[in-house]
Structure formats: structure tokens, C-alpha cells
Structure 1
Amino acid sequence: MTKHQAPQIVDLMSSLPPHSEVTTALRKLADGPFRQVALTNSVMHVAEQQLRNAGIRELFDRVMSADSVRKLKPADVPYHAVATAFRALPSEVRLIAAHSWVITGALLTGCKAAFESHPGMVLSPIGRPSARHRRGQP
């Protein structure tokens, strides 16, 4: 990759649509008792742009970047940052992700986690999620 290609790739990544079930699932979660936070390893401006372009930014109460704490997921620091920002214990934080390494980091931090299964994504035997959802199941 050349230095000229890097901005083009970031632009493409910033305009990816969400998986087909994401918007509906986020709307259902918004009707529940939980505050919704997008925790990303992306820098903040890219994360905000991705969520806006995907049409789902308004479904999150807050967007947090692991970059702001200078430790990327799966390190425990980003998960603790979410708990601290909402004056919660890690055990009160619930994470949903389609990447097993993110699930493992959350579980090792003391959070609860659910694995969202997508084609090509495999759950790691290192961290077993608190819940698991397969596409097409309620």
C-alpha cells in the first residue's frame, strides 16, 4: 500500500454499510434499559464517520475510541474506560461483538459478552461468551 492509497482505504472503510440485522437489533436494544456505546479501535473521527455513513450513529448514546486511552482492544483499558465513563463496574458492562478477540478481552476484564455470529467469524475457545446469537435467530 502506498501513502496515496491509505486515505482511499480509510474512506472506503468509513462508508461500509452495517450488516443487515444491525439496525433492527440496535433499535430493539435502544428500547431496553441499557445505554448503548460503540467502543472501537478506530480513531474517533473515523468511528463517528463510519457510524454516520451507516445510518446508525443516532442509536448510540456515545462513541468511545480505544485510541483515547492509548490501548487497543483486547487490552482491558478500553473496557474499563467504558465502565468508568458510565460510573459502572466492568461486571455491569455488556458487549456484543462479531470478533472473538474482542469478546475475550471483554470477558477477561470482567464484562459480560455476547458473540454475534457472521459467516467466517469463529468463536475462540479462549473466551466463552455469556451469550451467543446466530444470524437469523431471534
Structure 2
Amino acid sequence: MPQTIVFDVNETLLDLGALDPVFERLFGDAGARREWFAQVLQSAMTVTLTGRYEDFSAVGAAALSMVAQRRGVTLERAGRQDIAAGMRRLPPHPEVADALARLRDAGFPLVALTNSAPEVMRDQLAHAGLSPLLDAMHSVDAARALKPARAVYDTAARLIGERPAALTMVAAHGWDIAGAMSAGWQGAFIARPGQVPEALFPAPTIIAADLAEAADALIARG
């Protein structure tokens, strides 16, 4: 039986760059989008390390307030709603659909595992046209923790019905790969622009420039 391939969603499958025009309009700087998502991840880590659980959408909204305060920008409700709606309508990276189809044709079970809330996850993957290519979709909400908490990967393994060694996490975030590998999974790191593996952890099983290259490596490995 081939490995079950588990995909992170935001930045790994879906392109957050589609939000740049919204941030350009609201902040006068498209770069605020990267600052915002970095703050989202920092706040998510803070919540996780302090033993709390917050819906990822709430984390995103709080991070947006922090960036606005830092930049001296007043955000109206409509602008906040535009960003929240945009998160549900992100396009996939260009190579993603074909790579998923090739992995599926090669017999790999394909699963999504995201920090996004269940309803956001469903909207994201449906809008991107990726839902039919996936065998299952899981949110961290089932574990009541955010990645890279160990509970997320242990809960996902239980829901998928596989032992950790039979699972490969595919992500464009070094911390996600580190979390999965620390839980006994394999890891395939997607080196999207600006992303590098975590230096303090073992090297990912696979390092690829994009999902097409990762699919080649996974298929070759079998």
C-alpha cells in the first residue's frame, strides 16, 4: 500500500499571493499581506505554546488588527470581510491540480490537513477545484490544537486510520514538516519562494521546488 500523502493547504496548495491586491488597497502596500500571515503564524504558535486553542479565523482576525495597529491603519469592517472572503477563494498554485491528479492515478491516498476551520477548509478546497482529487479533508479543529502541536498529527493519524510511519506530510512550512516528523511521519518540504526547512530538526525526507517535483519524487519512491 502506498504512503498516504497529507497536504497542508494555505501556501502549500493555495496561493496567498492572490490577496496582495486587497492588502495593497487597504494598507497601500501589498507587502502587508506577508507581514500579516507571518503574524498569523506567530500568534498561532503563541496560542499553541500557552496551551490554548483558538479558531484559525479568529487568529487571522487578531493578527490583522495587530498589523493595522503597527502600521497606524484604521480598517473598516468591509475591508476585514474582504480579506476573510478572499481566504476562502484562494487559487491553487499552477502545478497543484496536475500533481495531485498524478499522485492519485499512481494509487496514493490523498488527504488535506489544515489549520483552517472546517467550513473555511471546505470552501477553500471546493473553490480551488481540489476537493474531487482528495480522499479526505481534516481540520485541526478535531484536535483542538493548531499545527505544529503533536496532538494535531496524532489525531490526524487516528482519523485517517494509519500508523504514523505510513503518512507523509507535504508542506511549504518548515515548522509543519518538523511537527509531523517529530510525530513519526515522513516529510516532503515544498520550497516555495522564501521558505526553507527548519535548521534545528532532521532534514525532510524530500525537498522539492514545487508540488510537481515533489510528486515526481513520491512516485519514484513508491
TM-score (norm. length: structure 2): 0.58
Q: Distance in 2 between matches of 1:69 and 1:6?
A: 27
Which structure: larger Rg?
Answer: 2
Query: Per the alignment, in what secondary structure is the counterpart of residue 50 of structure 1?
Result: helix
Alignment-derived partner of residue 20 in structure 1: 94
Q: In the alignment, is the contact (CA less than 8 A) between 2:113 and 2:138 conserved in 1?
A: yes
Residue equivalent to 1:134: 209
Give 2:104's aligned residue: 30
Distance 1:101 1:126 in 2: 10
Gapped runs of 5+ residues in structure 1? Answer: none
User: How many Å separate the matches in 2 of 1:91 and 1:10?
Assistant: 36
Q: Does 1:64 align with 2:138?
A: yes
Q: What is the CA–CA distance in structure 1 between the aligned matches of 2:195 and 2:154, rounded to whole Å? A: 25
> How many angstroms does 1:32 deviate by?
2.5
Distance 1:34 1:12, change over 3 A: same
How far did 1:12 drift? 0.6
Measured after TM superposition, the shift of residue 114 of structure 1 is: 0.3
Of Structure 1 and Structure 2, which has the larger fraction of its residues in strand? 1
Letter in 2 for 1:103: I
How many residues matched?
138
Q: Aligned partners of 1:82 and 1:56: how far apart in 2? A: 20
The one-letter amino acid paired with 2:89 is S
For 2:160, the equivalent position in structure 1 comes to: 86
How far residue 3 of structure 1 moved from its aligned partner, in angstroms, is 7.2
Q: Structure 2 CA distance, aligned partners of 1:53 and 1:64? A: 17
Query: Who is 2:170 aligned against?
Result: 96
Counterpart in 1 of 2:81? Answer: 7
Considering fraction of residues, name the structure with more helix.
2
2:116 counterpart letter in structure 1: S
SS for the counterpart of 1:64 is strand
Partners of 1:12 and 1:61 lie apart in 2 by 25
Aligned 1:98-137 pairs, distance under 5 A: 98-127=172-201, 128-135=203-210, 137=213
Shift in Å, 1:97:
0.7
Question: Shift of the alpha carbon at 1:126?
Answer: 2.4
State the TM-score, normalized to the length of structure 1.
0.91
The 1:3/1:105 distance shift into structure 2, 3 A limit, reads farther
On the 8 A contact 2:117/2:141 being kept in 1, the answer is yes
The one of the two structures with greater contact order (alpha-carbon pairs below 8 A, sep at least 6) is 2
Deviations 1:28-55 (A, max 9, x none): 1111232111000000000111111111
Give the C-alpha shift of residue 120 in structure 1: 1.3
Letter in 2 for 1:38: A
